[in-house]
């Protein structure tokens, strides 16, 4: 990669970091939930600034085939950042260190009993990826512009909850919470420099297990 490309990427990273610096993280929930973390990994692609999104393997016991950010449950003694970076390496073969972390967003409490911490991390210029087929069916480099589609996010009312279900439009598909909630908060912070809270946004009933 030419030196000018590296300089341009560094400038993009600095601008993104400046917007994210304005995000004030809410206090973590007090409920005794299982801690987990996901990585919102920002990369520079020929199509523009992007992030990494996966389709979970059909062979997984929980949430198979769903759209997801790389991540999982924290191991004992791990921090949220350590867990997110470990899962990123295990799922996509992308090894990054804590110096690449740009922000920590709000914990999102899932219906399945987890408190998930989203970690925004800088992945660099078109990083090489080696998806783990046991966990990842496919990996996609989604432009940030996809998060800004008209009518996205969508908020849907369901009989089972008084909280609105949130979903984000990605291409011709729909990504549901918890991933949608975290991507919505990321969009507002990274693209608009705004802080929105998503704790009261609901998951679809089929994601409650």
pLDDT of residue 17: 97
Query: Looking up tokens 């979970």, which residue turns up?
Result: 56
Question: Largest alpha-carbon pair distance within the chain?
Answer: 56
Cα 5 to the chain's mean position, in Å? 26
Grouped pLDDT means (10 residues each) for the chain, 209 residues: 72 96 89 92 96 81 74 95 98 97 97 95 97 92 96 95 96 93 98 96 87
Residue 71's domain is classified under what CATH number? 3.90.79.10
Provide the residue range defining the domain that includes 118.
3-207
Structural domains in the chain (count): 1
Structure-block tokens of residue 46 = 């020929």
With b for 16 or more beta-carbon neighbours within 10 A and e for fewer, the 111-144 pattern comes to ebebbbbbbbbbbbeebebebeeebbbebebbeb
Res 77: pLDDT: 94
Q: What is the pLDDT of residues 179-200, one digit of tens each?
A: 999 999 999 999 999 999 999 9
Q: Which two tokens stand for residue 162?
A: 């008084």
Q: For residue 175, with 0-12 CB atoms within 10 Å meaning exposed, 13-18 middle and 19 or more buried, which class applies?
A: buried
How far is the C-alpha of 198 from the C-alpha of 3, rounded, in Å? 40
Question: Across 80-185, where does the E strand assignment appear?
Answer: 101-104, 108-109, 114-125, 136-143, 154-158, 161-170, 173-176
Scan for tokens 């390496």, then name that residue. Answer: 89
């Amino acid at each position: 990669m030419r030196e000018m490309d590296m300089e341009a990427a560094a400038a993009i990273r600095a601008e993104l970091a400046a917007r994210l610096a304005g995000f004030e993280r809410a206090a973590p929930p007090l409920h005794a939930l299982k801690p987990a973390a996901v990585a919102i990994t920002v990369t520079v692609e020929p199509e523009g600034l992007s992030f990494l999104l996966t389709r979970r393997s059909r062979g997984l016991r929980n949430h198979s085939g769903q759209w997801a950010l790389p991540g999982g449950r924290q191991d004992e003694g791990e921090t949220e950042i350590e867990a997110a970076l470990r899962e990123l390496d295990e799922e996509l073969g992308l090894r990054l260190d804590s110096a690449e972390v740009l922000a920590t967003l709000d914990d999102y409490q899932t219906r399945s009993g987890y408190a998930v911490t989203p970690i925004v991390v800088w992945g660099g210029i078109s990083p090489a990826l080696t998806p783990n087929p046991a966990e990842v069916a496919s990996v996609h480099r989604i432009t940030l512009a996809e998060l800004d589609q008209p009518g996205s996010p969508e908020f849907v009312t369901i009989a089972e909850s008084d909280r609105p279900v949130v979903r984000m439009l990605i291409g011709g598909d729909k990504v549901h919470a918890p991933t949608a909630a975290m991507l919505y908060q990321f969009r507002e912070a990274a693209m608009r420099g705004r802080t929105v809270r998503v704790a009261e946004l609901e998951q679809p009933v089929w994601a409650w297990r």
